[in-house]
Structure 1
Amino acid sequence: MQILITFWLALAPMFLTPKAAPAEAKKAAVARDYCKIYGAVYLERDPKYKNTAAYTVYLNEEEAFANMIVYRENNKLFADATAIWYLTPNKAFADHILYVTDNRNFADFSVHYTNVRSFATCRE
């Protein structure tokens, strides 16, 4: 009887622990989801609150290498399409919270700001 219990206890962690999602699946989900970001966006820059952000973003100076070309809207009501953001100064009023990093390698996607609303787009 002890042998069966020992055998069961040895195999139990293999069946009871949840399987971790592969890194490729997580990257693919991130690649698809960041195109849905629009509306009120809060850019978090404090590393203490990095875990409260939905995505990590890199602010790119070059339009050619950015994943998303964003137009900064002055009115929250008009930020109603993909890549059109109203940058809110208050985290409580934000639809999306993004952490801004200085290292492009740590970012989920990169952003470049444009001055023309019709140029706002998401590149997958």
Structure 2
Amino acid sequence: MLASLLLSGFLALNPFRPAPPVPFVASAAVPLGSIDPCLIYGSIYLETDPYRRSYCFATVYLEPEEAFADLLVYQEDNKLFADKAGFWYQTPTRDFADYVLFVTDKRALADFYIHYTKSRSFAGCRKQ
């Protein structure tokens, strides 16, 4: 009985098992936690309740000046035309949105800054 206990303990430790593989490591060029605003388009729901902030994809700040915004947004009336960066269709409910974004009034807490434009041709990402 002692022999079977020792044998099962030895097999559980398994010294002949190969080393576990190293997990995939992301590229060092992109810092962790950064969100690219150029990839956000489609149907958007803007959340303003601070208690639901943890359920949102990113935090945005509505920039009053166009010059300091990371993304110029044009509001589409039809969801089918919101197919490029900067073209957003705002949904009335969060269940039908592709992205849920939290709107903050503090600039330092935002992941990126947006400014609404009235011209469709100006919408999109700013070249950095």
Taking structure 2 as the reference length, what is the TM-score of the superposition? 0.73
Structure 2 gap ranges (5+): 1-25
- Is residue 57 of structure 2 the alignment partner of residue 57 of structure 1? no
Deviation string, structure 1 residues 19-60 (Cα, Å, up to 9, x no partner): xx99x8125x32xx2211000000000001000111000001
User: Which runs of at least 4 in structure 1 moved beyond 2 Å after TM superposition?
Assistant: none
User: Which of 31, 36, 39 is the equivalent residue of 1:25?
Assistant: 31
For 1:93, give the aligned amino acid: F
Asked if 1:43 is matched to 2:68, the reply is no
CA RMSD of aligned residues (A): 1.7
The equivalent residue for 1:107 is 110
1:88 CA drift (Å): 0.6
Once the two structures are TM-superposed, the CA of residue 84 in structure 1 deviates from its matched residue by 0.2
- Output the CA distance in 2 between the equivalents of 1:26 and 1:69: 24
Would the aligned equivalents of 2:44 and 2:91 in 1 still touch at CA under 8 Å? yes
Q: Distance in 1 between matches of 2:87 and 2:111?
A: 18
Gaps of 5+ in 1: 1-20
The reply on whether 1:97 has 2:100 as its aligned counterpart is: yes
Mapped to 2, the partners of 1:69 and 1:122 lie a distance apart of: 6
Alignment correspondent of 1:86:
89
- How many residue pairs match? The answer is 100
Higher helix share: 1
Q: State the SS of the aligned residue for 2:31.
A: helix
Tell me, yes or no, if the aligned pair for 2:43 and 2:99 is still in contact at 8 Å: yes
Q: TM-score, normalised by structure 1?
A: 0.76
Q: Determine the structure 2 residue equivalent to 1:120.
A: 123
Q: What is the aligned-residue identity percentage?
A: 53
Give per-residue Cα distances to partners, 1:62-115, cap 9 Å, x unaligned: 000101000000111111111100011110000001000000000000000001
